[in-house]
Each structure stands twice: as structure tokens, then as C-alpha cells.
Amino acid sequence: MMRFLLLFSRQGKLRLQKWFTPMSEREKKKIIRDMTTMVLARQPRSCNFLHWKDLKVIYKRYASLYFCLAIENQENELIALEVIHRYVELLDKYFGNVCELDIIFNFEKAYFILDEFLIGGEIQETSKQMVNRSIEASDMLQETMEEYMSKPAF
């Protein structure tokens, strides 16, 4: 199973954190620190895999963002790499040419999309159409933009 997924920028700013097993805040902070320093220190064109404690860490850079996924030791690295890619595709499909800013300003959406794709560290649905269909269905349930704009900002 997957243990956690982190998205961070080249400057090491965390953009998304998803933990698939319970962990204390202190542990999380330590892991985030370890991952950013480890991954950011990697030379370009290195392989995308690292061993870290008893886990395998799979990372890939998309533009200014690093996606970093930790999986258990017996899991398949290449398919995990494609889990990352599929998530990127899902974000891209939803936002249209997704960029870091989309994830910053719509962080809750990034979490919702992830929940449709992965649950409890396992893949729920691999089909892009299927995931998008359920995200769109939930967007349909939302009120219109105008309704929101008429409401006070603070």
C-alpha cells in the first residue's frame, strides 16, 4: 500500500500532504523535512526511486512541483510512478493546464480529486473518465458562482 503522498515546490514549500496511516504531527513534520531535503538534493536525470527506512520513495518532478509518494517495500516502483502521473492527469483534466497556483488556491479540490482516485493508500479507480465523471457530478451539486460572489468576503 501507499503510505503518504507529498507535493512540494522546488523551494521546498509543501503544497499537499496526504497520509494514509495515522501519524503524529511531529512524525509528519520530520518526514516532510526528510523528503524535501532528500528529493531536492537529487541530481537531474537520476533514477526516480529511493530507499528510505523500510519504505520506497518514488518521486517525479512536473514543472515546478515535486510529487513524492512512499510505498511499502514489496510494492512495484514503476506502477507507483504511474500513480503519480495519473494523478497529474486528473488534476490537469479538472483544472485544464494545471499549474502550481491552481493547487494552492484550490487545495481542497486537489484533496477531493485524490480521494476519488486513492483510498486508504490503495487505488480505487484507474479510469480517468470514471474519476472525472464523479468529480463533475459533485461539481454539479454546487451552487453557482454568482450565488457565492454576492456573499460577503469576510
Partner 1 sequence: MPAVSKGDGMRGLAVFISDIRNCKSKEAEIKRINKELANIRSKFKGDKALDGYSKKKYVCKLLFIFLLGHDIDFGHMEAVNLLSSNKYTEKQIGYLFISVLVNSNSELIRLINNAIKNDLSSRNPTFMCLALHCIANVGSREMAEAFASEIPRILVAGDTMDSVKQSAALCLLRLYKTSPDLVLMGEWTSRVVHLLNDQHMGVVTAAISLITCLSQKNPDEFKTCVSLAVSRLSRIVSSASTDLQDYTYYFVPAPWLSCKLLRLLQCYPPPEDGAVKGRLVECLETILNKAQEPPKSKKVQHSNAKNAILFEAISLIIHYDSEPNLLVRACNQLGQFLQHRETNLRYLALESMCTLASSEFSHEAVKTHIETVINALKTERDVSVRQRAADLLYAMCDRSNAKQIVAEMLSYLETADYSIREEMVLKVAILAEKYAVDYSWYVDTILNLIRIAGDYVSEEVWYRVIQIVINRDDVQGYAAKTVFEALQAPACHENMVKVGGYILGEFGNLIAGDPRSSPLVQFNLLHSKFHLCSVPTRALLLSAYIKFINLFPETKATIQEVLRCDSQIRNSDVELQQRAVEYLKLSSIASTDVLATVLEEMPPFPERESSILAKLKKKKGPGAVSVPDLEDGKREGGELNGGGERGPDSAAMSASNASTPSPSADLLGMRSAAPMSAAPTSAGSLLVDVFSEAGPAAPSAAVNDDGFLRFVCKNNGVLFENQLLQIGIKSEYRQNLGRMYLFYGNKTSVQFASFTTTVSCPGELQSHILSILRLNVQTKPVEPVVEGGAQIQQVLNIECLTDFSEAPLLNIKFRYGGALQNLSLKLPVTINKFFQPTEMTSHDFFQRWKQLSQPQQEAQKIFKANHSMDTEVLKAKLLGLGTALLDDVDPNPENYVCAGVIQTKGQQVGCLLRLEPNGQAQMYRLTLRCSKDSVSLRLCELLAQQF
**The one among 1, 30, 37, 72 contacting partner 1 by CB under 8 A:** 1
Distance CA 131, CA 125 (A): 7
* Window 112-131: contact mask with partner 1 (x via CB under 8 A): x--x---xx-xxxxxxxxx-
Residue listed under C-alpha cell 510494492: 75
Neighbouring C-alpha atoms within 13 Å toward the C-beta of 111: 11
For the chain, strand residue ranges (E) read: 2-9, 14-19, 49-52, 55-62, 65-72, 118-119, 122-123
- Count of residues interacting with partner 1 (CB under 8 A): 62
Q: Which parts of 20-49 interact with partner 1 (CB under 8 A)? A: 22, 24, 29, 43, 45-49
Residues that bind partner 1 (CB under 8 A): 1, 14, 17, 22, 24, 29, 43, 45-51, 54, 74, 76-79, 81-83, 85-86, 95, 101-102, 104-109, 111-112, 115, 119-120, 122-130, 134, 137-139, 141-143, 145, 148-149, 151-154
